[in-house]
Structure 1
Amino acid sequence: MRLTLTTWNINSVRLRIELVADFLQSVQPDVLCLQETKCPDDAFPLKRLKQLGYEHVALNGQKGYHGVAIVSKLPFDATDIRVFCDKLDSRHISVAFGAKAGLAAPLIVHDFYVPAGGDIPDPEANPKFAHKLSFLDEMKSCEPLHPRGDARHILVGDLNVAPHENDVWSHKQMLKIVSHTPIECEKLLAVQSEGNWIDVARERIPLSEKIYTWWSYRAADWAASNRGRRLDHIWVSSALKDAVSDYQVLRDARGWERPSDHVPVTVVLDV
């Protein structure tokens, strides 16, 4: 069975529901993982998505901030929400696909929105940055994020860290900028290592090549300046390493009308 999965920080799902609809009609992923939905569960645009064939939705939202959702053509066998740093701030949801979706073996999808961390890369001076570092530490120690053996897991989302030199437009100029500071990169890579995760982008695209998934709203011309960062990630457990057949970043989405500052990132797997 071929599974197409997209992750996208939509930066308000209600504001951009027609962009979501256009994307779903064009790309037709089986599963769409959204972050920063900024929407309480009872106001999520379910009707519009169901009209498009996405009848299965797992929600963890809140009014005005954060929020994650998994939208699917395939039914879930189970859903789960984990709390990190003792904060009820809607940053994780996971679903299990199995017999109901026609799979012979379970497949778990985790959708994350890691804290951005504010502007000052000092945990003593900036509680938001301290929260981000603690969140990454808890991800590292979270046992359900340690798939072993033949466990088939996918972890996606806006992880708000660009961990490698060519995940940012200028490694040297970004070293003291939140999202690419050495401590953040070290902690995110420790999450990856502890869970034995495979970073699909860097498995398929050499570390020597630039990859971006986010461009700031502050740039007068985002395409001309091209000061991007790779904040949006797709990781797979070792059991799925050979299942990946394609990986795409839809850069053009950053130029759509009233876009998110993040673009959709899509993986295709044979599951």
Structure 2
Amino acid sequence: MRLSLTTWNINSVRLRIDLVAKFLKSARPDVLCLQETKCIDDAFPLKRFKRLGYEHVALNGQKGYHGVAIVSRIPFESKDIRTFCDKVDSRHISVSFGTQANIAKPLVLHNFYVPAGGDIPDPALNEKFDHKLRFLDEMTACEPLHPRGDDRHILVGDLNVAPHENDVWSHKQLLKVVSHTPVETEKLKAALAAGEWVDVARERIPMSEKVYTWWSYRSADWTVGDRGRRLDHIWVSRALKDAVQDFKILRDARSWERPSDHVPVTVTLEV
């Protein structure tokens, strides 16, 4: 079975539901993972998604902040929500797919929204940055995020870290900017290594090439200078490494009317 999966920090699902609908009608991924939905579960636009053919929905929402969701055209069989740093702030949700979706071997999907970390890259001075570092440490230590052997797991989301030199527009200028500081990049790499994950983008695209999924709202024209960062990630367990068939970043979505500052990132696998 061929499975296509998209991750997208939508920055308010209700505000941008028309953009989501536009994308779903065009790309038709089997599964869409959203971050920063910014609404409680009861306010999530379920009816719109169901009209679009996405009848299976898992939600972990929060009023006005954060929030993650998984919407799917194929059924999933279980849902789980994990908390990190002793905070109930709607930053994780996972589902598993199996025989109901005509998938012979179980497939576990994690959707994350890692804390952004504020503006000051010093945990002693910035509580938000301290929270981010502790969150990454807990991801590294979390055993359910450590697929082994034949485990078929996928981890996606806005991880809010651009880990490699060419994941940012200027490695030198961003070394002291939150999302690309050495302490963050090393902690994200540690989480990747602890689970023996494969970073799909960097498996498919050479390290020598620039890759971005986010462009700041602070720039009047995001295309000028192309000052982006790769904050949105798709990881697969080693058992799925050879199953990856395609990988796409929809850069054009950053130019849509009233866009998110992130764009959709899609992987296609033979599962």
Whether TM-score is above 0.5 comes out as yes
Q: Aligned equivalents of 2:269 and 2:47: distance in 1?
A: 28
Q: Is the partner of 1:224 in helix, strand or coil? A: coil
1:100 corresponds to which residue?
100
> What's the offset of the Cα at 1:33?
0.2
Q: Aligned equivalents of 2:131 and 2:202: distance in 1?
A: 27
2:60 corresponds to which residue?
60
For the pair 1:71 / 2:71, whether they are aligned, the reply is yes
> What's the offset of the Cα at 1:225?
2.2
Q: Aligned equivalents of 2:19 and 2:221: distance in 1?
A: 21
> What's the offset of the Cα at 1:99?
1.1
2:173 corresponds to which residue?
173
2:45 corresponds to which residue?
45
Q: Aligned equivalents of 2:64 and 2:76: distance in 1?
A: 27
For the pair 1:222 / 2:236, whether they are aligned, the reply is no
1:259 corresponds to which residue?
259
> What's the offset of the Cα at 1:121?
0.1
Q: Aligned equivalents of 1:60 and 1:171: distance in 2?
A: 34
> What's the offset of the Cα at 1:220?
1.3
Alpha-carbon RMSD: 0.3
With normalisation by structure 1, the TM-score equals: 1.00
Q: Aligned equivalents of 2:50 and 2:220: distance in 1?
A: 37
Please list every run of 5 or more consecutive structure 2 residues that lacks an aligned counterpart in the other structure: none
Q: Aligned equivalents of 2:39 and 2:224: distance in 1?
A: 32
The letter for the 1-side match of 2:267 is: V
Q: Aligned equivalents of 1:46 and 1:220: distance in 2?
A: 33
Q: Superposed, which structure 2 residues align to 1:151-230 within 5 Å? A: 151-230=151-230
Task: Please give the per-residue CA displacement for 1:37-66, whole angstroms capped at 9, x wherever unaligned.
Answer: 001000000000000100000000000000
With normalisation by structure 2, the TM-score equals: 1.00
1:143 corresponds to which residue?
143
Please list every run of 5 or more consecutive structure 1 residues that lacks an aligned counterpart in the other structure: none
1:14 corresponds to which residue?
14
The letter for the 2-side match of 1:180 is: H
For the pair 1:30 / 2:30, whether they are aligned, the reply is yes
Task: Please give the per-residue CA displacement for 1:48-103, whole angstroms capped at 9, x wherever unaligned.
Answer: 00001000000000000000000000111100000000000000000000011111
Aligned residues of 1:219 and 1:225 also touching (Cα < 8 A): no
Task: Please give the per-residue CA displacement for 1:222-263, whole angstroms capped at 9, x wherever unaligned.
Answer: 011210000000000000000000000000000000000000
2:120 corresponds to which residue?
120
The letter for the 2-side match of 1:258 is: R
Q: Aligned equivalents of 2:129 and 2:224: distance in 1?
A: 30
Q: Aligned equivalents of 1:142 and 1:74: distance in 2?
A: 28
Identical counterparts, % of pairs: 78
Task: Please give the per-residue CA displacement for 1:105-146, whole angstroms capped at 9, x wherever unaligned.
Answer: 100000000000000000000000000000000000000000
Q: Aligned equivalents of 2:138 and 2:74: distance in 1?
A: 30
Q: Aligned equivalents of 1:29 and 1:167: distance in 2?
A: 25
Aligned residues of 1:12 and 1:38 also touching (Cα < 8 A): yes
